[in-house]
Amino acid sequence: MTTKNYFKKFTIPTLFLFLAVNFAVGQTAKLASPQQEKLLNGMNLLIWNVPTAEKATVKLRIHNGSAFDPQAKEGTMALLSDILFPSQAAKEFFQEDLGGSLEVTSNFDYIQIDATSDADQLIKMLDTLAVAIIKLNIDRETTAKVSAARLEKIKELEKNPAHIADLAVAKRLFGDFPYGRPPLGTSESVSKIDFADLILARQRFLTADNATLAVISNSKPDAVYRAVRRYFGAWEKSDKKVPATFRQPDAPQAGLAIKEFPIDNTSEFRLAFRNVARNNKDFHASEVLAKILQKRLQTREGNNAAVSNNAQLLNGSVVLSFSKWNVGRITKQGEQISLPKTDTIVKDLLNAPISQEEFEAANLNRLPTTTNDLADWWLDIDTFKLPAFKNEEQNAKNITLADVSRIAELWKKEPLAEFLVIGNYKTEASNK
């Protein structure tokens, strides 16, 4: 090979790699910080001006979720999110009249409205959202309607072995601590919720000083600020803050619990352990490690296995999910069940040292690359009581292999919660 040809073969791929890396870095670097404002009623406002935006995007986050559901009435905050836009007509209005979309989500830590419209419909969208929030009507009839719709969804979920396993392992991991309870509620708990419970939840949590509004559009920030003050300025603030204070959870329930399921060829196995909270300085290292664990798990078990790193305000958790786990291989003789060894799975997966290659692959594409993603990061600042965004960004960027390896050693020592939903056994008779 001539020196010239060698140079071409070596430099061209290197050049492409260099450009790709610099393009990715450049994409992140171009994302501007928002203009930050605060209304007199305490609502935080984040405004991004994106001159090329063809759509306007609004994200409204309420900084409390189902962790605050009353005991025995789990699903209250999820129902409150449902009642904000209780009919399909609202979604159709956003699609047909505003040229956009509407989605409301709720989880343990917050309720969030994500809405979009054509760029020239931003003012109308802000007006619509403000009316839905400020003039929210909670009565018996509407509550009954959204409760019936929610109950129908829950009853379907309660037939799903994966859903059963997810809730059961969370219960074993956290017990009566809020993260051990079903965030959407159960058919029993939702049936107990009435309109007075939703009114109380609205009064406690659906207040201006417990919310952050993010607006991304091609409109000038000052114009957006004026519009938001006009439409959301009348939203009342709370009389007092509701502190996120809960007793620390007890240790996870030891051992593997098993629930039989009436459908053959069903096996949903879950392994879970506790992790750092979202506002812990080690959160980003744990995110990288979860990706490494996912890759190793799927190499061993196939695509029916997955790892989720659940970041929350008070405690985090890592859940390993196995679908169709050892289907047809688990035997039962009398009351004795023969199972593969499960309590060393996490240690076995993490025993091998983490390579530089694994670390770099898992650490790629973790920073926001779009303004929409960036807005969610900024909303997290308020929800999870994070330090300034600059600090959070540096924490995400400055992870080292040593940080991730240190977290791996901690994960190996965490007590496990285990649960298996199984729909068939091989009995002693069937093996003869």
**Together in a domain, 114 and 153:** yes
**Together in a domain, 322 and 396:** yes
Whether residue 198 is contained in a domain is answered as: yes
**Is the pLDDT confidence value at 7 over 70?**
no
Instruction: Quick: pLDDT tens for 72-126.
Output: 999 999 999 999 999 999 899 999 999 999 999 999 999 999 999 999 999 999 9
Cα–chain-centroid distance for residue 231? 29
Q: Give the H/E segment covering residue 335.
A: none
Percent of the chain surpassing pLDDT 90: 79
| Residue (of 224, 220, 240) closest to 232 by Cα position | 224
Helices 122-134 + 88-96 axis angle, to 10: 160
How much is the pTM? 0.89
Domain count, the chain: 2
**Together in a domain, 40 and 98:** yes
Q: What does the alpha-carbon distance between residue 169 and residue 253 come to, in Å, rounded to a whole number? A: 9
State the pLDDT at residue 334: 67
Print the domain residue range for 102: 35-232
Alpha-carbon distance values, 172 to 133, 250, 356 (Å): 37, 10, 35
Q: Which CATH number goes with the domain that contains 418?
A: 3.30.830.10
> Which residues have CB under 8 Å from 225's CB, separation 6+?
35, 37, 45, 47
